[in-house]
């Protein structure tokens, strides 16, 4: 009799601790996964909310975006997107326009696509861009001196004085030429030249990448 009760008691306490163990496990799993879901939703809202306005803006002028990711950790992956026909470099996307227009119209065409005429911030950026260009054409830049007083200004308000200047030698040389272009001269390679704004040229548009 005594033996049996002891035996039952041992069985009971074994069963009890198993229940405790399992319910503990289940509760932890539920807690962990709800934390995970909450943090996923938060991250999603945080990153998607910021870029969704630009995304929907871009969707009006670009039918598809190409995105790629840099970084190793799955959770830290940053998706960088450009319109599918644009070239990607650094934090920007570039379109080499095959249309020839006056400077102001070229800028308007870029703006209609959520971009602006290109602003060249470094020699590396220019080296990337010129690989996409045709050596027998010239392309408007987002750089102008619309008062003709030598006060060159970038279209995105980047201070001209802080930027690289990659003018051809002896350029700019004529105050009536109030817009800047990039052109290949066989003696010197690619460089900037001042040109009349109301001449038809190709152009380069630039926009910031969308990060997802």
| List 63, 84, 173, 200, residue binding ligand NAG (CB under 6 A) | 173
Query: 153 pairs with which residues across the strands?
Result: 144
13 exposed, middle or buried (CB, 10 Å; 0-12, 13-18, 19+)? exposed
- Listed as own residue / partner, the contacts of 35-42 with beta carbons closer than 8 Å and 24 or more positions apart are none
SS3 at position 104: helix
Closest CB 134 distance from ligand NAG, rounded Å? 4
Q: Rounded CA gap, 158 and 92, in Å? A: 15
CB atoms within 10 A of CB 29: 10
Stretch near ligand NAG under the rule CB under 6 A, chosen from 7-15, 94-102, 134-142, 153-161: 134-142
| List 3, 56, 91, 136, residue binding ligand NAG (CB under 6 A) | 136
Among residues 152 and 212, whose Cβ is nearest to ligand NAG?
152
| List 18, 23, 132, 134, residue binding ligand NAG (CB under 6 A) | 134
Cβ distance 202 to 140 under 8 Å? yes
SS3 at position 157: coil
Q: Is 43 in the site for ligand NAG (CB under 6 A)?
A: no
| List 193, 203, 204, 207, residue binding ligand NAG (CB under 6 A) | 193
Q: Is 98 in the site for ligand NAG (CB under 6 A)?
A: no
Among residues 61 and 173, whose Cβ is nearest to ligand NAG?
173
Among residues 74 and 176, whose Cβ is nearest to ligand NAG?
176
Q: Is 137 in the site for ligand NAG (CB under 6 A)?
A: yes
Q: Is 48 in the site for ligand NAG (CB under 6 A)?
A: no
CB atoms within 10 A of CB 206: 25
**Residues in Cβ contact with 135 at an 8 Å cutoff, skipping those fewer than 6 apart:** 184
Q: Is 132 in the site for ligand NAG (CB under 6 A)?
A: no
Q: Which residues bind ligand NAG (CB under 6 A)?
A: 134, 136-137, 173-174, 193
């Amino acid at each position: 009799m005594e033996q049996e009760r002891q035996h039952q008691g041992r069985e009971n306490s074994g069963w009890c601790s198993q229940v405790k163990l399992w319910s503990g496990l289940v509760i932890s799993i539920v807690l962990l996964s709800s934390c995970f879901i909450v943090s996923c939703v938060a991250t999603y809202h945080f990153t998607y909310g910021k870029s969704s306005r630009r995304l929907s803006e871009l969707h009006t002028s670009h039918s598809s975006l190409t995105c790629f990711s840099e970084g190793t950790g799955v959770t830290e992956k940053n998706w960088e997107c450009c319109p599918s026909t644009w070239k990607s470099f650094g934090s920007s996307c570039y379109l080499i326009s095959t249309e020839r227009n006056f400077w102001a119209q070229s800028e308007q065409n870029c703006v209609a696509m959520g971009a602006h005429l290109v602003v060249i911030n470094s020699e590396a950026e220019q080296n990337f861009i010129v690989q996409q260009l045709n050596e027998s054409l010239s392309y408007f830049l987002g750089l102008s001196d619309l008062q003709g007083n030598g006060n060159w200004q970038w279209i995105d308000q980047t201070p001209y004085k802080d930027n690289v200047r990659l003018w051809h030698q002896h350029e700019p040389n004529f105050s009536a030429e109030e817009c800047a272009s990039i052109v290949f001269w066989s003696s010197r390679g690619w460089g900037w030249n001042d040109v009349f704004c109301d001449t038809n040229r190709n152009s380069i548009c630039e926009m910031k990448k969308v990060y997802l």
